[in-house]
């Protein structure tokens, strides 16, 4: 991507004056529907807080931390080409390292995120797993910045974006599991999912119970399953769910099958004041309002690392599917409307996912300050899913799993301790 196009992919100050409804109408009509690569360092944006190497793709971030990275392309049955990053081992191992057992672990990020989120800093979950002897695979779902390829469809086509997290789980996650097992010659692996990465795994295990034979156990970090008591951002998504049909009428075009506006836009230049190397208080407040109050004030360095890589792309239907869950209070398949529902499901209403069909052992970590997933709704999921073995509460918001200072002691070591029981 050229420097000029990178600037074009960032917000215009004019857009900041519009209402949310006006923004979505405008963007669904005139905003480019495809960005060829994730927007990197904006032109004219200079800072000494982080090195230029921070504005890099996943494989470079892994190598910058001293580990080997390999890039794999996984084809799905419906033609998507998913990029997955494998961390094969530390370049320099200390004498304390235990011999690698090489148990494969799939680590999946959430909505509007990608594999970069796991390797922004150290300590982190991904390289900690490598040091514990695991064969780590950082996955990417269709629609994020590493899932924009298809055998026949271009991302400018609406058909490319005709998916929600149902397809992320049923197709993407299943294809990735099968590929990793075939590549490694193993019969089983472990999955770890943050946010939508957890949702996708629940979809797969409930819809295809046979995958329990391929998964030793699953760890869910901040799993968004139920939304009976939605905090601030889920409430906004619920309102968006009711707004979209009106947008379709007013614009005369289908806004549902498209990429979600702003989900792949570079925010660093608008949230960071390079003159004094400070994170904008308005952006800081916005993140706290949407994702929950962080355990500790996010450092300016970590905030910039986050904004260099997040958000990372997604579809309107992914967001809308969550909006449907919020509106219904249940955990159901995508609602296409009564006519199409009858054709697909045999019922005018979408069926609920069968959580009782899940037999893979599940370990849940959730944040008591999470602005997206409430403690009550996590507990509802753990009661509805008999496969849940342990539940751990942390004083975290939705992104503290990547940004908090105490992640090593708070959840990384406990998670690794649990996984070691399955190797």
Residues with a catalytic annotation lie at 195, 370, 398
Q: What is the pLDDT of residues 324-383, one digit of tens each?
A: 998 899 999 999 999 999 999 999 999 999 999 999 999 999 999 998 899 999 999 999
Look up the CATH number of the domain holding residue 128. Answer: 3.40.50.1820
CA distance 222 to 407: 14
Name which of 255, 240, 243, 249 is nearest 29 in CA terms. 255
Domain that holds residue 98: 57-229+356-420
Q: What is the spatial distance between Cα 75 and Cα 72, in angstroms, rounded to a whole number?
A: 10
Identify whether 99 is part of a domain: yes
Q: Is residue 247 part of a domain?
A: no
What's the DSSP call for residue 417? Answer: H
Q: Per-residue pLDDT averaged across 188-204, rounded?
A: 99
**Residue 263 included in any domain:** no
For 29-49, how does the pLDDT look when each residue is reduced to its tens digit (9 = 90+)?
Answer: 333 333 333 446 666 566 666
Percent of the chain with pLDDT over 70: 70
Residue 8's closest CA among 48, 29, 36? 36
And the tokens for 271? 């949230």
User: For the chain, how many structural domains are there in total?
Assistant: 1
Asked if residue 205 lies in contact with residue 401, where contact means CB atoms within 8 angstroms, the answer is no
Neighbouring CB atoms inside 10 A of 71's CB total 12
Crossing angle (nearest 10°) for helices 232-251 and 20-30: 50
Residue identified by tokens 């409307």 is 337
Place of tokens 């649990």: 418
Asked if residue 223 has a cis previous peptide bond (ω within 30° of 0), the answer is: no
Q: pLDDT tens, 148-158?
A: 999 999 999 99
Q: Quote the CA–CA distance of 17 and 152 in Å, as a whole number.
A: 39
Tokens of 318: 């992914």
| Distance separating alpha carbons of residues 39 and 22, to the nearest angstrom | 24
Considering the domain boundaries, does residue 113 fall inside one? yes
Please confirm whether the linkage preceding 123 is cis (ω < 30° from 0). Answer: yes
What is the C-alpha to C-alpha distance for residues 301 and 128, in angstroms, rounded to an integer? 21
| Percentage of the residues of the chain whose pLDDT score is greater than 90 | 57
CB-CB contact of 198 with 345 (8 Å): no
384 phi and psi angles, rounded to 5 deg:
-80, -25
Q: What are the E-state strand segments in 42-148?
A: 67-75, 80-90, 104-108, 135-138
Please check whether residue 237 lies inside any domain of the structure: no
219: in domain: yes
Q: How far apart are CA 398 and CA 411, in angstroms?
A: 14
Half-sphere exposure of residue 190: CA atoms within 13 angstroms, side-chain side? 24
Residue 266 lies in a domain: no
Which pLDDT score is estimated for 37?
38
What average pLDDT does range 194-222 have in this prediction? Answer: 99
Q: Is residue 45 part of a domain?
A: no
Predicted TM-score (pTM) above 0.75? yes
Separation of alpha carbons 58 and 254, rounded Å: 33
**pLDDT for position 241:** 54
pLDDT tens-digit profile of 377-391?
999 999 999 999 999
């Amino acid at each position: 991507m050229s420097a000029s196009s990178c600037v074009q992919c960032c917000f215009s100050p004019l857009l900041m004056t519009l209402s949310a409804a006006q923004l979505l109408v405008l963007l669904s009509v005139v905003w480019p529907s495809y960005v060829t690569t994730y927007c990197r360092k904006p032109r004219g944006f200079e800072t000494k807080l982080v090195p230029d190497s921070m504005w890099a793709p996943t494989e470079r971030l892994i190598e910058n931390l001293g580990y080997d990275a390999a890039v794999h392309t996984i084809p799905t049955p419906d033609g998507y080409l998913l990029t997955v990053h494998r961390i094969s081992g530390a370049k320099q191992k200390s004498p304390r390292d235990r011999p690698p057992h090489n148990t494969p672990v799939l680590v999946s990020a959430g909505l509007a995120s990608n594999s970069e989120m796991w390797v922004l800093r150290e300590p982190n979950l991904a390289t900690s797993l490598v040091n514990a002897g695991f064969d780590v695979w950082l996955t990417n779902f269709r629609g994020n910045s590493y899932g924009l390829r298809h055998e026949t469809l271009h991302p400018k086509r609406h058909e490319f974006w005709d998916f929600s997290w149902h397809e992320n789980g049923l197709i993407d996650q299943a294809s990735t599991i099968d590929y990793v097992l075939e590549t490694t010659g193993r019969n089983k692996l472990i999955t770890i999912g943050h946010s939508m990465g957890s949702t996708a795994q629940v979809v797969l295990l409930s819809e295809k119970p046979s995958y329990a034979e391929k998964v030793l156990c699953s760890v869910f970090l901040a799993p968004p399953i139920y939304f009976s008591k939605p905090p601030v951002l889920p409430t906004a998504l619920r309102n968006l769910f009711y707004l979209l049909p009106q947008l379709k009428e007013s614009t005369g075009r289908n806004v549902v099958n498209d990429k979600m506006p702003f989900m792949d836009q570079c925010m660093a230049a608008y949230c960071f004041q390079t003159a004094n190397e400070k994170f904008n208080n308005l952006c800081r407040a916005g993140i706290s309002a949407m994702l929950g109050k962080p355990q500790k004030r996010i450092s300016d360095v970590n905030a910039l690392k986050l904004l260099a890589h997040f958000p990372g792309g997604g579809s309107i239907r992914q967001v809308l599917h969550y909006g449907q869950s919020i509106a219904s209070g249940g955990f159901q398949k995508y609602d296409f409307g009564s006519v199409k529902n009858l054709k697909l499901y045999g019922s005018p209403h979408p069926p609920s996912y069968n959580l009782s069909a899940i037999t893979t052992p599940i370990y849940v970590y959730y944040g008591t300050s999470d602005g997206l997933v409430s403690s009550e709704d996590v507990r509802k999921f753990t009661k509805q899913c008999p496969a849940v073995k342990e539940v751990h509460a942390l004083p975290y918001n939705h992104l503290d799993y990547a940004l908090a200072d105490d992640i090593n002691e708070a959840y990384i070591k406990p998670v690794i301790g649990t996984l070691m029981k399955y190797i």
